[in-house]
Amino acid sequence: MSRLGNLPFTGPLPSRAIGQRGAVIVPQATALTANPQVSEIDWGLEALPLRFRIDGEGAVRIVRAGPVGAASHTEGPGLPLVEIQLSGSGRKWSGERSVETSAGARLLYRGHEADGDGTRPSLRIDLADPVTGLVVEAHYRAVPGVPVVRAWTTLRNEGAADLTVEAVTSLVLPGFGRSTGRERLARIDVHWAASDWLAEGRWQSRPLRELLPDLSRFAHEHGPRGCFARSSQGSWSSGRYLPTGALVHGGGHAWAWQIESSGGWRWEVGEHDADVYLALLGPHDREHQWRQVLRPGEEFTTVRAAVAVGVTAHGDDALTAALAALTRYRRAVRRPHRDHTVLPVIFNDYMNTLMGDPTTERLLPLVDAASRAGAEYFVIDAGWYDDDAEGWWDSVGEWRESAARFPGGLGEVCQAILAAGMTPGLWLEPEVVGVRSRVAEQLPSDAFFQRDGERVVEHGRYHLDLRHPAARAHLDAVVDRLVADYAVGYFKLDYNINPGPGTDTGTSRSPGAGLLGHQRAYTDWLSDVLDRHPGLTIENCASGGMRADYALLAQAQLQSTSDQQDPLRYPPIAASAPAAIAPEQAAVWAYPQPGSTDEEIAFTVAGALLGRVHLSGHLDRMTPHQHALVAEGIAVYKRLRADIPASTPLWPLGLPGWEDHWLCLGLRGADRTYLLVWRRGGAGEQVLPVPHLAGSRTSPRVLYPTHRPTGLGWNADQGSLRLSLAEETPGACLLVFERDS
């Protein structure tokens, strides 16, 4: 470590070198000859360098971000490294934006520290507000080999009075569209994904200039007040939009980002001084009722955020390259776990099958059929605890087996699962307690979400606050008992309510701060559970995909992608999921049924083969031929699954539209490229561009299904595949391109 100490800025910084050369840019501070009162810090990877400039008064700006040739490589006036909204301080320019804050503009350089050992290059820039005594640390971290920067901010009150923070950015990057005149935004598109229950991850794009109208800044001598923003609401982090997005520049560069927060987030894109900026932040006051009081000596650290850059090269368009970089980044920052490389096949009894009504009699035939199909986990979903004559929805929380459903005990079924060569799994909704549950009276009121002294009630449930030791002890006891009593090796952790902005109990003082505190305590609890039970696999679910973010997915091994029960509506969800979730973490339902045709069985089974297979359906009622068709798909998956964690996603037809007839998801690896294609209607033939394979010695072949002819026409010179599927019915197929030996 090297450091420029916590000293007031007094002039140019001494020249120095920190770290090592190679893929990592040498962090340095160099006095400019043109202006001896201005110094610079260059830091980052060669693919994503950042340049910070310190002016003569000590203000620090990012003036350049991105590789040579990118729009963001052009230097501009920049923005403060950190934007902070303090009570009593306000903004310098009123509007809806998170930038142009008064406190952010006051921050002055105190020093910086860079670690350039090449493993996890990092930079910390220390700033201070001379008015309030607030000290700010802007943190940046790189992942070698991946064009990504991860950032967060730490605040510490070194003043004499309490400070109330209403908003603070994790990362601000300017320079995405620096140019002059009316055309400066004309070549930039913004991409984002709307989300809803049963309709997750609906990506769309618009030209940025349509979203940010030209206001003739030079006529008014002021910049705009607005921006284009997306944010979360309540505790479903992906209930309205995904916490990710992208900017694509027509010059062949793209920037994709994600915010790692289950407790509120916002991203925004706007114009500032003939430039385009991106601001990423966690919860804030206006949208999330978040305020953080810092007493003298107290600290607060923001949520993490990450930005990746992609360039058009080697057959990849810039957006695909940026999303591929985010995929590699997600793998680098999550908790190591065997599940990420083994990718066991999961059978779950719920979807279009038992639907929350399991019994020993119904489960045992499914156990046998699932094992014969190739499943390796068997998960008993909702309802296993249901012994209440009035229904289980508002009585859950104790998580003890139903004697009526399991006359021989739940252990009888779990032993049958083990005897069939599978690992037992159970569904839990750990954060909720039904209003009629005995647990609601046994735990203290402070162990639940409250607002204004009343417990928060949502859809017949109370919400546990995992900051409280009694709530945590209750869940620890539940998990430890289920693992010990039933040899549970898999938990599906669901989350079916959105209790609003949060809880104002304890020291939070605002609901949003309480929600963020709970969410951080929840991920800490998950980490502790996995420390105690390292063989466990945990699935993150929230009414399907309503809480899909990498605060949770850095701990949980899998993410449910949807509760969608219509097989024709699932393809756009499955195809788009790897844009926001590493494919080996994206659980996709495959629910073939005995009443289905061969084509319908193949359609739903194929749709899960490039993610994590969540098998369901009444396999026990199928004919031998139907069961063999399902087992064929699972056998194909087991042959290819080792390639999934080392591959990155691509979309030959673009990110899918909700009503598209043809959809295609690909995975690109070192030696093989897989294409999963769905046809829901329209013409029976489609051309699929695969430009990265142009000129290569390869040819496609169908992996699944093999029971019907599929027309393939490969043009190696152009790198395009002409695919024909029968028009009389929806169809799907999985193909592979392998290098010819």
pLDDT reported for residue 223: 75
pLDDT reported for residue 515: 98
Q: Across residues 648-652, what is the average pLDDT? A: 98
- Percent with pLDDT over 70 in the chain: 91
Strands 24-31 and 304-311: unpaired
Q: How far apart are CA 714 and CA 699, in angstroms?
A: 7
Q: For tokens 């190696």, what's the residue?
A: 716
The phi-psi region of residue 576 (left if phi > 0; otherwise alpha if psi is between -120 and 50; otherwise beta) is alpha
Q: Per CATH, which fold does 650-739 belong to?
A: Immunoglobulin-like (2.60.40)
Instruction: Please report which confidence band the pLDDT of residue 225 belongs to, taking 50, 70 and 90 as the band edges.
Output: confident
Q: Across residues 390-410, what is the average pLDDT? A: 96
The model's pLDDT over 235-274, given as tens digits with 9 standing for 90+, comes to: 999 999 999 999 999 889 999 999 999 999 999 999 988 7
Q: Across residues 306-315, what is the average pLDDT? A: 92
Q: Per CATH, which fold does 2-333 belong to?
A: Beta-galactosidase; Chain A, domain 5 (2.70.98)
Is residue 507 pLDDT above 90, yes or no? Answer: no
Q: Which of the pair, 289 or 273, is modelled with greater confidence?
A: 289
Q: Is residue 677 classed as helix, strand or coil in its secondary structure?
A: strand
The H helix count followed by the E strand count for the chain is 14, 43
Q: Of 206-220, 558-572, 674-688, which gets the smallest average pLDDT?
A: 206-220
The model's pLDDT over 108-141, given as tens digits with 9 standing for 90+, comes to: 999 999 986 656 799 999 999 999 999 999 999 9
Amino acid identity, position 398? E
Residues 6+ away with beta carbon under 8 Å from 575: 651, 655, 656, 663, 664, 665, 676, 678
Confirm if 361 and 377 have CB atoms less than 8 A apart.
no
Q: How far apart are CA 703 and CA 690, in angstroms?
A: 18
Reading the block at residue 49, the tokens are: 């360098």
- Closest of 597, 591, 588 to residue 618, by C-alpha: 591
Instruction: Please report which confidence band the pLDDT of residue 178 belongs to, taking 50, 70 and 90 as the band edges.
Output: low
Confirm if 208 and 247 have CB atoms less than 8 A apart.
yes
How would DSSP label each residue in 455-514?
A: E-EETTEEEB-TTSHHHHHHHHHHHHHHHHHH---EEEE------TT----TT--SHHHH
Amino acid identity, position 635? A
Q: What is the mean pLDDT of the chain?
A: 91
Q: Across residues 334-362, what is the average pLDDT? A: 98
Per domain, the residue ranges of the chain are: 2-333, 339-429+469-494+522-560, 650-739
pLDDT reported for residue 428: 98
Q: Across residues 431-457, what is the average pLDDT? A: 97
pLDDT reported for residue 179: 54
Q: How far apart are CA 128 and CA 8, in angstroms?
A: 9
Is residue 183 pLDDT above 90, yes or no? Answer: no
Instruction: Please report which confidence band the pLDDT of residue 63 belongs to, taking 50, 70 and 90 as the band edges.
Output: confident
Q: How far apart are CA 614 and CA 375, in angstroms?
A: 9
Is residue 34 pLDDT above 70, yes or no? Answer: no
pLDDT reported for residue 683: 92
Confirm if 360 and 401 have CB atoms less than 8 A apart.
no
Confirm if 663 and 572 have CB atoms less than 8 A apart.
yes
Instruction: Please report which confidence band the pLDDT of residue 27 belongs to, taking 50, 70 and 90 as the band edges.
Output: very low
Geometric angle at alpha carbon 84, from 305 and 53, rounded to 5°: 75
Q: For tokens 């750990």, what's the residue?
A: 430
- Within this chain, domains 2-333 and 339-429+469-494+522-560 share the same CATH topology: no
Listed ranges 43-47, 63-67, 365-369, 693-697; the one with the highest mean pLDDT: 365-369
Is residue 35 pLDDT above 90, yes or no? Answer: no
Exposure b/e, 247-284, CB count within 10 A at least 16 = b? bbbeebbbbbbbbbbbbbbbbbbbbbebbbbbbbbbbb
Cα distances (Å, whole numbers) of residue 636 to 32, 152, 372? 60, 42, 15
The model's pLDDT over 550-560, given as tens digits with 9 standing for 90+, comes to: 999 999 999 99
Edge-first strand order for the sheet with 685-689 is: 685-689, 720-724, 711-715
Q: Across residues 335-356, what is the average pLDDT? A: 98
Is residue 353 pLDDT above 80, yes or no? Answer: yes
Q: How far apart are CA 454 and CA 511, in angstroms?
A: 13
Q: Specify the CATH superfamily of domain 339-429+469-494+522-560.
A: Aldolase class I (3.20.20.70)
Strands 490-493 and 537-540: parallel
How would DSSP label each residue in 345-410?
A: -EEESIIIIITT---HHHHHHHHHHHHHHT-SEEEE-TTTT---TT-STTT-SS----TTT-TT-H
